[in-house]
Amino acid sequence: MSKHICKALLFAAALLPAAASWAASERTLGPGGETPTPYTQVTLSAQDIAQLKGKGYKAAILMHTSSDFSSALTAGAKKTLDELGIQVVAVTDAEMDPKKQRTDLETVLALKPNLIISLVIDPVSGAAAFRQAANQGVKMVFISNAPQGFKAGKDYAGIVTDDLFGMGRSAAEMLAGSINNKGDVAVMYHAANYYVTNQRDQAVKTVLGKYPGIKIVASKGIANPNDGEMIASAILTQNPSVKAIYAPWDAIAEGVAAAARTAGRKDLKIVTMDLGAANALDMVKGGNIAGIVSDLPYDMGQTLARMGALSLLNKPTPPFVTVDAIKVTPTNLAEQWQKALDRKPPEAVTKALQARR
């Protein structure tokens, strides 16, 4: 999915009951094997909107951390909630601390929200905290995972996340295209038991395996993103024939690019997930980054708001919803950055784009 999820992985090791199901599937499945519903199918009718307005509903958005992703998602959710006449009474930042998230939740509950949107940092310890909200009748919609033991349709409305297989497929296609569909490649995968990154990384391998001219000669796990440069250096030393490397997310890709520079490998192509200024700048300037796959956090925020609004009306909602992935290249970066994050690229990236023209 993206940086927002990857930072939460230390707390999510227990979330892979459906591993066998998704490993054999060529589509995204939920943490419990749920079938995905496209986000475009989560809609409100004119009658729904009329029923929501004037009711004085209140919502709170409990984010796990502050980031471009969190800001864009919050902006999308707030815009839609405002249009529906639902007041946002609190937006919190747990700073990746499960204990702080619990405190945030308790503070927010005092404001008596009717709806909570949140990414649960620790699904295990977070279960007790979010049970308080459920017991008070608060409707909840979750980002990417749910508290352990919670049931969709009973304890919460549903989960909204990225099209994980779609992200992996897009990354594999960009990686293959960067080397004209022929040559040796390496895949770095996230070495943790978490369905989000596991599905993405497996999708990359699955799709690359369909290219007869491409051979995966190295597959290396990475647990700490700070090890990206070290692991990439080892790959390049042991496999000098490697033409391209897949990195699971942007912080790792920065380390891979550093390793490529140290090795004098200007020819090496790197494809990764998530929009980050450093990798975008490298790509625009013709460096090692050949392509980036991004999710759509602004659209995700709007979808979460619509899901929550439907639950306030006690209408059925899909248990697992996925939002599209987009391919980002130097030619479409400005447009895709705006689409994903609802803002322009950083100034340095914008200047580099202008210099290309």
Read off the pLDDT of each residue in 277-297 and give the average, rounded to a whole number. Answer: 97
- The position carrying tokens 């549903």 is 158
Kindly list the distances between the CA atom of residue 342 and the CA atoms of 34, 49, 301, 338, in Å, as whole numbers in the listed order: 29, 24, 11, 5
DSSP 156: B
Q: By C-alpha distance, which of 212, 222, 209 is closest to 248?
A: 222
Q: Looking at residue 21, what is its pLDDT?
A: 52
For residue 26, what pLDDT band results from cuts at 50, 70 and 90? confident
Whole-angstrom Cα distance, residue 84 to residue 305? 9
Name the CATH superfamily for 3-162+297-323.
Response regulator (3.40.50.2300)
Q: Which helix (H) or strand (E) is 215 found in, with range?
A: strand 214-222
Residue 10 in this model has a pLDDT that exceeds 60: no
Whole-angstrom Cα distance, residue 299 to residue 60? 18
For residue 304, what pLDDT band results from cuts at 50, 70 and 90? very high
pLDDT digits (tens, 9 = 90+) for 126-136: 999 999 999 99
Read off the pLDDT of each residue in 264-277 and give the average, rounded to a whole number. Answer: 96
For residue 27, what pLDDT band results from cuts at 50, 70 and 90? confident
**How high is the mean pLDDT of the chain?**
92
Residue 313 in this model has a pLDDT that exceeds 90: yes
Q: State the span(s) of the chain assigned CATH 3.40.50.2300.
A: 3-162+297-323, 164-295+327-356
Q: Looking at residue 169, what is its pLDDT?
A: 97
pLDDT digits (tens, 9 = 90+) for 50-66: 999 999 999 999 999 88
Q: Which helix (H) or strand (E) is 291 found in, with range?
A: strand 289-294
- CATH no. for 164-295+327-356: 3.40.50.2300
Q: Looking at residue 14, what is its pLDDT?
A: 40
Give 336: exposed, middle or buried? Use CB within 10 Å, 0-12, 13-18, 19+. buried
- 111-139: b or e for each residue (b if 16 or more CB lie within 10 Å)? eebbbbbbbbbbbbbbbebbeebbeeebb
Two tokens at 170? 């897009």
Q: Looking at residue 23, what is its pLDDT?
A: 58
The amino acid present at 198, given as its one-letter code, is: N
